[in-house]
Amino acid sequence: MKISPTYYQDETVVLLLAGGVGSRLNVLVQARAKPAVPFGGLYRIIDFSLSNVMNSGLNQVGVLTQYKPLSLMRHIGTGEAWDLTGRSRGVKILPPRTGSRDSDWYKGTADAVRQNIDFLKAHPSRQVVILSGDHIYRMDLEKMIEFHRRKEADVTVAMMVVPLDQIHHFGTGITDDEGRIVEWEEKPQKPRTNLASMGIYVFDTEYLLTTLARNRLEVDFGKHIIPRAIEQDNIFAYPFEEYWRDVGTVQAFWEANMDIVRPDSGISPQEWKIRSNTETDKRIADRCPARFGPGCKVSGSAISAGCMIEGEVVNSVLSPGVVVEAGASVRDSIIFPDCVIGADAVVDLAILDKRVRVDSGALVGYGEDRLLANYLYPEHLYTGISLVGKEATVGAASVIGRNCIVQPSVSLISGQIVDSGETV
């Protein structure tokens, strides 16, 4: 029996999937969930989805966590940063329900929602919006909901055109003239369309509840539920043409950060009214303005509060509290909070996690062999980017090559050489 519309607590409830491992980001997710990874100097990845919810006027959000959830839970807090507090609005953390073994984890996106179905029953609604917590984009979700209602759809899938050489990473849909999805392929090796799913869905609530109850072997929306549903139900594609990036790989994460400092890239967190919760980390919130010493050179970069720049910074994103000492150079890099780049050191095409110290004269990202992939993780690092884990130390005059990984808390001795492709 359908729920009477007068019984709806909210027209729309949001489920935000934030429990994935995100292993392709390597050391950046060893101690945190992928949605909690810092981004763009001042933000976390999940800030974009939460801000889209806020800016679309939606009020009730359930955040499904699982892998390394503590930093993410601290960051979201009460939801006040996104105006998700009060009698009629709120954000609820939905923590893991099962054990710690891989076999106990969510088996897919649909399985994650199914295991938290009590949240939907406790918040009766007309529609459910399902989002991912690891995308960088701006979307007016209310427009997608209006599209869904106008089409009288059971399910609406946000979709966008992507290059054919990237389509094998996505679910793909072929649509008719009305926008109805008539064929579906999940991560095709020989694609027949360039229309890709963004992993953003609007479901009629009753339809979703019925679907999840029907077959518990259907554990993923893209692999199981959508392909079956298009054969018998009204499944529509919502066209999206603005900026959107899945930052699930090191290369994609680096590219999206670099887009912030590239003119006309399409991303502008300030114009998009993206909010973050800086109150959870006073070391980020309570910062003095950035300081620029005499003789420093800064171009094409984003410099956050609390930074001290005495050297050179080119085409880079620096988080709060980063120090670049005299004679040091940072190029094409992403530096997380409170890192110190010592005098005459060079950081070139690298990502440094929080509180990394690069001592004087050290080189991070050295050599021309950018295509020599990392030996242990060739699918993670293959374009020249090197990763230095949280609170690692790169000793004076040390040299780190291309596509290297320095694990968190590792200390390289002075003069140590890490050849391209190596992991220490």
Reported as a pLDDT band with limits 50, 70 and 90, residue 57 is very high
**Rounded (5°) CA angle 159-94-87:** 95
Pairing of strands 10-18, 411-412: unpaired
What is the residue whose two structure tokens read 């303005």? 289
pTM for this entry: 0.93
What are the sequence ranges of the domains in the chain? 5-261, 286-418
pLDDT greater than 90 at residue 414: yes
**Stretch 203-212: mean pLDDT:** 95
The band of 21, judged by pLDDT with boundaries at 50, 70 and 90, is confident
Q: Which fold has domain 286-418?
A: UDP N-Acetylglucosamine Acyltransferase; domain 1 (2.160.10)
Q: pLDDT value at position 9?
A: 55
pLDDT of residue 2: 44
**Taking a C-beta distance cutoff of 8 angstroms, is the pair 145, 239 a contact?**
no
Listed ranges 69-83, 174-188, 215-229, 290-304; the one with the highest mean pLDDT = 290-304
State which H helix or E strand residue 52 sits in: helix 46-55
- Residue 291's pLDDT is 96
Residue 284's pLDDT is: 62
Collapse the DSSP code of 202 into the 3-class scheme (helix H, G, I; strand E, B; otherwise coil) and give the result: strand
Average pLDDT across the chain, whole number: 91
For residues 338 and 360, give the distance between their C-alpha atoms in angstroms, rounded to a whole number: 16
Tell me: pLDDT of 97 over 90: no
Q: Cα(60)–Cα(10) distance, rounded to whole angstroms?
A: 8
Highest mean pLDDT among 30-44, 189-203, 336-350: 336-350
Return the structure tokens found at 362: 């050290």
pLDDT at 6 (0 to 100):
44
What DSSP character marks residue 223?
I
Instruction: Indicate if 286-418 has the same CATH topology as 5-261.
Output: no
Residue 222 has pLDDT above 80, yes or no: yes
pLDDT exceeds cutoff 90 at 168: no
Compute CA distances 312 → 20, 27, 270, 300, whole Å. Answer: 37, 26, 25, 11
Question: ∠ CA 93-214-59 to the nearest 5 degrees?
Answer: 30
354-403 pLDDT, tens digit per residue, is: 999 999 999 999 999 898 999 999 999 999 999 999 999 999 999 999 99
Categorize the per-residue pLDDT at 88 as very low, low, confident or very high, splitting at 50, 70 and 90.
Answer: confident
Tell me how far apart the 2 most distant CA atoms of the chain are, in Å.
72
As a whole number, mean pLDDT of residues 4-17 equals 73
Rounded to whole angstroms, the Cα distance separating 111 from 217 reads 9
406 pLDDT higher than 80 = yes
* Stretch (H or E) spanning 404: none
Model confidence band, residue 69 (pLDDT cutoffs 50, 70, 90): confident
5-261, what's its fold? Spore Coat Polysaccharide Biosynthesis Protein SpsA; Chain A (3.90.550)
**Range of weakest confidence among 119-123, 279-283, 352-356, 416-420:** 279-283
Give the mean model confidence (pLDDT) for residues 168-175. 89
